Amino acid sequence: MECEAKKFYHKHDEFACRALLETYYSNKQDMEFADDALIFPMMKFHYIFSSGFVKGNVLMDLSMGSVIHHLYSACDVFKEIYILKLNEKCKMETSRWKDSHNGAYDWTHASAHASQLEGKSAQAQDKDQQLKAAIRHIIPCNFDNENITHPEELPLADCVTSITILEAISEDEDGLMRNLEKMSKLLRPGGHLVLMVALNASYFVAGGEKVHLLTVDESLIKNALSKLGFVVDYCAEQKRRNKSTLADHTAIMFITACKTK
């Protein structure tokens, strides 16, 4: 697919938020990214939260677009969930879903899958309401600020989750370190950072526009975490399951790391 020069997600006010959901996270029969974008992430998030491996009271999420599918497992553990958004359009899209407005994106397939993972397949609607009740605020954030949630003062989190944000907002490896450090400041010592990372990617396409991703591999992410005082305690990868030209990652990596200082 021929697209314009790559745009940065957090600087692109007209980012195609709904197109991202329809292309990568929908319930369509021909949706090529189901394994990479939905099934693998939800399985891994379910594992770490249901096993008690990662726990606490406060969770903050920094994820691409207006995705929330990975948080269905989190709401069983965390009483307070704060969703941070770099893009106003994606913040509004997430708020429409939370407030059950007409035209909001339908995540029924994701809540049904979460319930199935828990062995409660008949309770998908309850799962949806449970997550909405756990979400305290949907807050704008800005990585140009030292405190990315300024002027909001939030409690330190027991867990910070993130899907594809580091690759999307970092222009180079130095930028990745700075952004990762700012994410770390949201966490209390002993808290967990949980990342879903697209490996060896340089772009994805949403709404016909090519969006920047910093090319990273497993060693780069692990070294960056180590330098910031994190200890990696779980890592899993899944090789790419589709042949679409809409994205060029080679694998999806799920990694959890404990903040030691």
Domain regions of the chain by residue span: 9-259
pLDDT at 4: 55
Contact 198, 230 (CB under 8 A): no
- Ramachandran angles phi, psi of 19, nearest 5°: -65, -35
- 6 confidence band (pLDDT: 50, 70, 90): confident
pLDDT at 3: 45
Please give the mean pLDDT across all residues of the chain.
93
Once rounded to an integer, what is the mean pLDDT over residues 203-229?
Answer: 96
- 126 confidence band (pLDDT: 50, 70, 90): confident
The pLDDT tens digits of the residues spanning 21-36 come to: 999 999 988 889 999 9
pLDDT at 2: 44
- 179 confidence band (pLDDT: 50, 70, 90): very high
pTM for the model stands at 0.94
Least confident window among 110-114, 119-123, 233-237: 119-123
SS3 letters for 3-45?
CCCCECHHHCCCCCHHHHHHHHCCCCCCCCCHHHHHHHHHHHH
Nearest-5° angle of CA 63, CA 40, CA 85?
Answer: 5
Please tell me the class of the 9-259 domain: alpha beta
The pLDDT tens digits of the residues spanning 40-53 come to: 999 999 999 999 98
- 215 confidence band (pLDDT: 50, 70, 90): very high
Look up residue 207 and give its DSSP letter. Answer: T
- Ramachandran angles phi, psi of 30, nearest 5°: -100, 20
- Cis amide bond preceding 151, omega within 30: yes
Contact 110, 72 (CB under 8 A): yes
**β pairing state of 203-206 and 187-199:** unpaired
Q: How far apart are CA 13 and CA 141, in angstroms?
A: 14
Burial of 7 (0-12, 13-18, 19+ CB in 10 A): middle
- 121 confidence band (pLDDT: 50, 70, 90): low
Once rounded to an integer, what is the mean pLDDT over residues 145-154?
Answer: 94
Query: pLDDT over 70 for what percent of the chain?
Result: 97
Strands annotated E in the chain? 58-63, 80-85, 135-140, 157-163, 187-199, 203-206, 209-212, 230-239, 251-259
Q: Which residues pair with 127 in a beta bridge?
A: none
Q: How far apart are CA 254 and CA 261, in angstroms?
A: 22
Identify the residue whose tokens are 């490896």.
Answer: 173
